[in-house]
Amino acid sequence: SAKEGMLDRWRISITNYSDQQTRGVFMNNYFSIGFDAKIALKFHEAREARPDRFKNRTLNKLYYGHLGVASAVKGVHKLHKRIHMTVDGRDVRLKGIGAVVMLNIPSYGAGTDVW
């Protein structure tokens, strides 16, 4: 039988400054904005549209890699022009980055140890 464990869950507030609407989302494990989130969304949408094409783990990883390379070739989006981030009441400078990833687990992206 499985062992019961505590779940570390965070609440993130996102404000759209064009219409001043704020919404909260809950995060388990990680939350991402940027090129990696776009790749994950494209993969998810493709898999939802054609589940019969996503039955092989190796081919899935190759397709995911293809999406990553295609995104890298297109270049990094200028997040600093679209996002203002405040953490614990302090502004965070985002210039020159392609993604913001917030983690509450020790690994990310197929087990990469980021700590």
pLDDT, mean over the chain: 82
Distance CA 7, CA 69 (A): 34
Do 23 and 13 touch, CB atoms closer than 8 A? yes
Does pTM top 0.75 for this prediction?
no
Distance CA 82, CA 77 (A): 9
pLDDT of residue 71: 82
Classify residue 88 by its DSSP letter.
Answer: T
pLDDT single digits (tens) 48-85: 999 999 999 999 999 999 998 888 777 666 777 778 88
Residue 42's pLDDT is 92
Give the containing element (helix H, strand E) for 10: strand 9-16
Q: How confident is the model at residue 45 (pLDDT cuts 50, 70, 90)?
A: very high
Q: Is 76 left (phi over 0), alpha (psi -120 to 50) or beta?
A: beta
Tens digits of per-residue pLDDT, 96-114?
Answer: 788 888 777 777 776 777 6
Please choose, from the candidates 110, 87, 102, 83, the residue with its C-alpha nearest in 3D space to the C-alpha of residue 28. Answer: 102
Containing 41, the helix (H) or strand (E) segment is helix 35-49
